[in-house]
């Protein structure tokens, strides 16, 4: 049987470890950071005692803390850095694991990583780090645990007799990887809301079978997203993101990207490089984009797929342009890993710039989302209508001969 990774059953509630809903995971609250001389201690209150593992990783230098799936309810005012800890983030990593990733500004080693049992079945997570030399840090990192990739979950097979077109919607980032964060808005939530709304829009027509690569706040590696599109034999793959530019707060609007080996411009290249870093953000050490498979048939398939991706991208620019604000160069391309399936027409939509206060307001508004989702739905309809028309034309031509 074909297996996919982290696949999410369409329409089913989000389940993690052993069928548990996210709301049933142990809860982590009350995050504290304390520095004492060469030591920094990170603690969190836990609703249960859980198994904890921690190890260091070099380039970028950080500490990875792994625990079972956890529902992080960290207070908004929690301290964000202390001593050699420059930042940290937390969230779901695989179907049964969560991570806390601690960024280091100087080499440090893990002195303690445990969940202490408290009264009443409660626990306290204690991570104690101490400053160390570069040499020692690198030696630690070299012998540290190498991460497994995401847990394998069987894919829902395409039901026999299914004739509807399959559209895979891929909300970017998730879980331990928040994507761009501006003020208190995380890209991962903006694009999930959009993905869920788009699924509803497409399903309402009754014409499409719609699969989401994630339908809750979890991390999905890039390779798995591509694989879900291929395993599901998707007729279209739509990745959803929301960009940001630190320098220019006045740059606004949505952009549609397709894959190309050479980027249309420097900004597109930079953006693709950033989005391709998603696995590294989650501390996935082993992931690498598969080398493009060579071969005449694959080349033909890829060329055809790129043509279809281009047609759909132009439909998107037309339809979206009629109802929401677009970037001044709305159609661009770059080497996005998530668009690499040679057999699945794929596009990536950057909904807007979270760095623009005006765009950020729109991206979180239900009214804007409704308009944008409607436009994407119309582009999908047009794409398949044209395809049917050209198939019909071909049949007529054959008939005439």
* Selection from 357, 24, 212, 209 nearest residue 16 by Cα: 24
| Closer residue to Zn ion, CB minimum distance, 215 or 275 | 275
Q: With contacts defined by CB under 5 A, name the span among 62-70, 165-173, 195-203, 310-318 that binds Zn ion.
A: 165-173
In the complex, least distance from residue 45 CB atom to Zn ion, rounded to whole angstroms: 32
In the complex, least distance from residue 275 CB atom to Zn ion, rounded to whole angstroms: 5
For residue 385, give every residue at least 6 positions away whose Cβ sits within 8 Å of its Cβ, in sequence order, or none: none
Closest chain position to Zn ion (CB): 241
353, β-bridge pairs:
243
The three-state secondary structure class of 184 is coil
DSSP annotation of 361 reads H
Q: With contacts defined by CB under 5 A, name the span among 72-80, 171-179, 193-201, 303-311 that binds Zn ion.
A: 171-179
Q: With contacts defined by CB under 5 A, name the span among 69-77, 134-142, 174-182, 199-207 that binds Zn ion.
A: 174-182
The reply on whether position 172 binds Zn ion by CB under 5 A is: yes
| Closer residue to Zn ion, CB minimum distance, 214 or 302 | 214
| Closer residue to Zn ion, CB minimum distance, 179 or 283 | 179
In the complex, least distance from residue 274 CB atom to Zn ion, rounded to whole angstroms: 7
| Closer residue to Zn ion, CB minimum distance, 244 or 315 | 244
Output the six-digit token pair for 256: 């549609």
Q: With contacts defined by CB under 5 A, name the span among 235-243, 252-260, 309-317, 390-398 that binds Zn ion.
A: 235-243
In the complex, least distance from residue 348 CB atom to Zn ion, rounded to whole angstroms: 9
- Contact with Zn ion (CB under 5 A) among 16, 175, 179, 221: 179
- Residue 215 near residue 6 (C-beta atoms within 8 A): no
Q: With contacts defined by CB under 5 A, name the span among 45-53, 168-176, 247-255, 305-313 that binds Zn ion.
A: 168-176
In the complex, least distance from residue 175 CB atom to Zn ion, rounded to whole angstroms: 14
Cα gap 310→143, rounded to integer Å: 46
Beta strands in 248-393 (DSSP E): 254-259, 326-334, 346-353
- Contact with Zn ion (CB under 5 A) among 97, 214, 241, 259: 241
Tell me whether the omega of the peptide bond preceding residue 139 falls within 30 degrees of 0, making it cis. no
| Closer residue to Zn ion, CB minimum distance, 67 or 360 | 360
Cα gap 129→124, rounded to integer Å: 16
113, β-bridge pairs:
127
Output the six-digit token pair for 50: 């859980």
Output the six-digit token pair for 278: 């998603």
In the complex, least distance from residue 180 CB atom to Zn ion, rounded to whole angstroms: 6
Tell me the site size for Zn ion, rule CB under 5 A.
4
Instruction: Quickly count: other Cβ atoms within 10 Å of residue 392's Cβ.
Output: 10
Q: 296-323 and 366-400 are packed helices; what angle lies between their axes, rounded to 10 degrees?
A: 130
Cα dihedral sign, 352-331-348-277? negative
* Selection from 187, 353, 182, 338 nearest residue 267 by Cα: 353
In the complex, least distance from residue 309 CB atom to Zn ion, rounded to whole angstroms: 18
| Closer residue to Zn ion, CB minimum distance, 26 or 174 | 174
In the complex, least distance from residue 243 CB atom to Zn ion, rounded to whole angstroms: 7
The contact pattern for Zn ion, residues 265-294, with x = CB under 5 A and - = no contact, is ----------x-------------------
6, β-bridge pairs:
none
333, β-bridge pairs:
258
For residue 291, give every residue at least 6 positions away whose Cβ sits within 8 Å of its Cβ, in sequence order, or none: none
The reply on whether position 174 binds Zn ion by CB under 5 A is: no
The reply on whether position 178 binds Zn ion by CB under 5 A is: no
**Residues in contact with Zn ion by the rule CB under 5 A:** 172, 179, 241, 275
């Amino acid at each position: 049987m074909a297996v996919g990774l982290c696949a999410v059953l369409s329409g089913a509630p989000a389940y993690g470890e052993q069928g548990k809903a996210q709301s049933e995971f142990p809860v982590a609250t009350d995050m504290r950071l304390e520095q004492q001389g060469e030591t920094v201690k990170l603690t969190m209150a836990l609703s249960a005692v859980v198994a904890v593992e921690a190890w260091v990783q070099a380039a970028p230098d950080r500490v990875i803390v792994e625990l079972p799936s956890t529902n992080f309810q960290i207070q908004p005012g929690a301290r964000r850095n202390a001593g050699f800890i420059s930042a940290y983030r937390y969230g779901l990593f695989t179907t049964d694991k969560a991570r806390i990733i601690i960024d280091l500004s100087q080499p440090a080693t893990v002195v303690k990583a445990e969940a202490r049992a408290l009264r009443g079945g409660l626990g306290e997570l204690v991570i104690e780090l101490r400053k160390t030399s570069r040499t020692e840090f690198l030696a630690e990192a070299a012998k540290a645990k190498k991460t497994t990739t995401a847990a394998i979950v069987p894919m829902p097979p395409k039901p026999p007799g299914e004739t509807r077109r399959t559209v895979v919607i891929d909300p970017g980032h998730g879980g331990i990887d928040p994507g761009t964060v501006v003020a208190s808005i995380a890209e991962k939530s903006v694009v999930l809301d959009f993905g869920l709304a788009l699924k509803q829009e497409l399903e309402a027509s009754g014409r499409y079978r719609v699969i989401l690569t994630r339908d809750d706040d979890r991390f999905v590696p890039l390779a798995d997203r591509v694989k879900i599109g291929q395993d599901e034999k998707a007729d279209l793959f739509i990745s959803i993101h929301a960009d940001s530019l630190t320098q220019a707060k006045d740059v606004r609007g949505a952009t549609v990207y397709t894959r190309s080996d050479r980027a249309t411009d420097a900004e597109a290249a930079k953006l693709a490089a950033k989005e391709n870093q998603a696995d590294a953000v989650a501390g996935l050490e082993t992931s690498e984009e598969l080398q493009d498979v060579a071969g005449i048939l694959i080349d033909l398939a890829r060329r055809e797929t790129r043509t279809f991706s281009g047609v759909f991208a132009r439909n998107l620019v037309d339809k979206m342009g009629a109802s929401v604000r677009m970037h001044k160069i709305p159609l661009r391309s770059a080497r996005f890993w998530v668009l690499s399936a040679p057999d699945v027409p794929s596009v990536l939509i950057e909904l807007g710039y979270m760095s623009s206060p005006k765009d950020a307001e729109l991206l979180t508004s239900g009214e804007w989302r409704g308009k944008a989702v409607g436009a994407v739905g119309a582009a999908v309809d047009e794409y398949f209508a044209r395809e049917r028309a050209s198939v019909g034309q071909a049949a007529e031509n054959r008939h005439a001969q």
